[in-house]
Structure 1
Amino acid sequence: MDSAKQCLINDTVDVRETIRAIEAGRKGIAVIVDSNGYLQGVATDGDIRRGLLAGVKLKDPVTAIMNRKPTKAESRMSQSTIIELLQQSGLEALPLVDADNYVVEVVLLTDLTQEASPGQASGFSSALIMAGGEGRRLLPLTENMPKPLVEVGGMPLIERQVRKVADAGVSRIYIAVNYLAEMIESHLGNGSQYGVEIQYLREEQKLGTAGAVSLITEPLDGPLLLMNGDVFTSINFQYLLDFHLMHEPLMTVAAIDYHVEIPYGVIKTNGAFATRLEEKPSQQFLCNAGIYAISPDAVSRVPQNQPYNMTDLIEQSMAEDAGVAVFPVHEYWSDIGTHTELDKARTELKIVKETLRDLDQHDENAVNIELNHRRAA
């Protein structure tokens, strides 16, 4: 199906289907039309994440988050005028409409200018993968193998991470190693086979979840992408970078939506008397996903070669005016820290690949879309 058509969705769909349209269309935008094809609004990844932070649910209608007065171009405009409109508006894509506001096309700036394709998070100066943990919760699997080399879908988890970072356009990757470091170094080498440069940060002592940041000696000319070595995710790093650059915090923390179901009726009281009964309520929390965009300023605050945790950096940054931004993750995410989570991730990836094989689809973008759809379902 033409990618422009995949961007078009009806104004009756929910946020979940809007995400799917943005991913499948590969233009960074969903264009919302009525039943006759007339423009009603647009939605971007940023609109969705702002909505999630404001309490919007994935099952809510797209009208809850869409921009009802979007920038648009008229089909009679010249290509140079459309390019100028996109550049002046700071947009990557917009709908092209006729005189009656009927959507004719979805125009992407990079298609018109032949610049680098979207999804390239080249604004990150480099990436750091924290791969020094022992993985005790995965024993006996990790008795003679570091946790990052545990396979998911026939590929070591850390190799998946390196490939994903490389695909996002980040050319330099640091990997913090400690436990059985030589096995990770032997598997990944210098990174040339993945089209990147890999440098290893060898912890002589355990430096906690953030201390290895201080081992980066080269100056950073942009944000650092940092992720834990046990995270399996289909997150779009470009969207994380865009969010970070828009809000300009000291650091941005990716956060997953976590639900806790209480299997009992909860009684609210005032003194000795009951005031309300909530039958089996659920609570919702934003939890740290172990993925961060960190400004050079925040990186410089990590003490040199000392044990230091990411929670310390987060708390220190929150005390500043720039503070900490929270990037809600609606993509697939799993912490491969227990046998239960590992088995679940392996099963889900197997199902997705079998489904796509039946549909004769094999590209990584299709895998990510299907993983995201399973998480949102």
Structure 2
Amino acid sequence: MRYAIIAAGEGSRLATEGIDMPKPLVEVNGEPLIDRLIRIFADNNAEEIVVICNDKTTLVSSHLMKIQEDGLNGRRIPLRFVVKSTPSSMHSLYEISRYLEGAPYCLTTVDTIFREKEFSNYIMALNDAMETYSADGLMAVTDYIDDEKPLYVDTDGTMTITGFLDHSDSCRYISGGIYGLSPKSIATLHACIERGESRMRNFQRAMVADGLHLEAFPFSKILDIDHKSDIGKAEEFLRV
């Protein structure tokens, strides 16, 4: 499995709250966010891990270069990274999409917090879905809502995704920000860029519109690190 991490945001909300470290290097339980994801992906049979970070600071790219050269905690990592600032997460995915063509991949943003056992179960389900051609994507969802602007995920009785909504009074789940996708998704992504669209939620809507078969995989809880207070919430969540 190939993995990708979008780490190109500036973490402006954290900065205004006194966190002067770039978001990928913010620590949760003593581990930088970027290191945590790389470690977990390596534990789940990563053939390659592709990361995009911004060019506003050299701290993140230098950190990634050290991992590339020396490994992570003594472990060699199949890491590739791109340094470029982009206007949205969808544009970040576009910049690294050339490394993701031709095979399934799993993508997440750098501040996504989840339980490792649930993630391993998700990857097993993703591999099964891709090998049997039963789905073009397996999207992580959660019924835990602690997001300023959640993206609601509408599903049918078989957990097939029928839509992505900005507002809903009936949807149980929201997007968890973990995307397991087939190569078909790249064509939809490029079409979105050509149309001048932005934001990951519009890419997800476009996949449904293009007829890609997306299924939802529930996690008990998924958190994002958007504010300083989220760090404590994440640490408490992972200690349970």
Q: TM-score, normalised by structure 2?
A: 0.73
> Where does residue 289 of structure 1 map in the other structure?
176
2:143 partner SS: strand
Task: Answer whether contact 1:201 1:212 (CA < 8 A) is retained.
Answer: no
Following the alignment from structure 1 to structure 2, what is the Cα–Cα distance between the partners of residues 290 and 247? Answer: 22
Q: How much does 1:240 deviate?
A: 4.3
Tell me, in whole angstroms, the C-alpha distance in 2 between the residues paired with 1:181 and 1:248.
42
CA displacement at 1:316 relative to structure 2:
1.1
Partner of 2:140: 254
Distance 1:243 1:341 in 2: 33
Which deviates more, 180-189 or 126-135?
180-189
SS of residue paired to 1:292: strand
- Answering whether residue 81 of structure 2 is matched by residue 200 of structure 1, we say yes
Q: Which residue of 2 aligns with 1:230?
A: 111
How far apart are the structure 1 equivalents of 2:174 and 2:145?
10
CA contact (8 A) 2:105 2:182 kept: yes
1:210 positional shift? 1.7
Q: Does residue 15 of structure 2 align to residue 130 of structure 1?
A: no
Question: Equivalent pairs: percent with the same residue?
Answer: 25
Change in 2 beyond 3 A, CA 1:284/1:212:
closer
Deviations 1:243-263 (A, max 9, x none): 642563333221011369xxx
CA contact (8 A) 1:255 1:329 kept: yes
SS of the equivalent of 1:300 reads helix
Q: Structure with the greater relative contact order (CA < 8 A, sep ≥ 6): 1 or 2?
A: 2
The answer for unaligned runs of 5 or more in structure 1 is 1-123, 261-281, 353-370, 372-377
Contact 1:145 1:180 in 2 (8 A): no
Q: Do structure 1's residue 241 and structure 2's residue 122 form an aligned pair?
A: no
Partner of 2:187: 300
- Partner residue of 2:51? 175
TM-score by length of 1: 0.48
Q: How does 1:80-119 map to 2 (within 5 A)?
A: none
CA contact (8 A) 2:24 2:33 kept: yes
Distance 2:206 2:171 in 1: 25
| Residue 191 of structure 1: how far off its partner (Å) | 6.1
Say which of 214, 222, 227 aligns to 1:333: 222
Deviations 1:183-226 (A, max 9, x none): 1122232165132222222225x241122222233463421110
User: Which secondary structure does the structure 1 equivalent of 2:103 belong to?
Assistant: coil
For 1:294 and 1:191, the matched residues in 2 are separated by: 29
Counterpart amino acid of residue 127 in structure 1? Y
Q: Structure 1 219/335 Cα, relative in aligned 2: closer, same or farther at 3 Å?
A: closer
Gaps of 5+ in 2: 147-168
Structure 2: distance between partners of 1:127 and 1:142: 31
Q: Does 1:213 align with 2:93?
A: yes
Q: Which residue of 2 aligns with 1:51?
A: none
Aligned-residue offset at 1:227? 0.2
CA distance in 1, matches of 2:18, 2:52: 18
What residue number does 2:154 align with?
none
**CA shift for structure 1 position 230:** 0.6
Decide which structure has the larger Cα Rg and report it: 1
2:229 match: secondary structure: helix
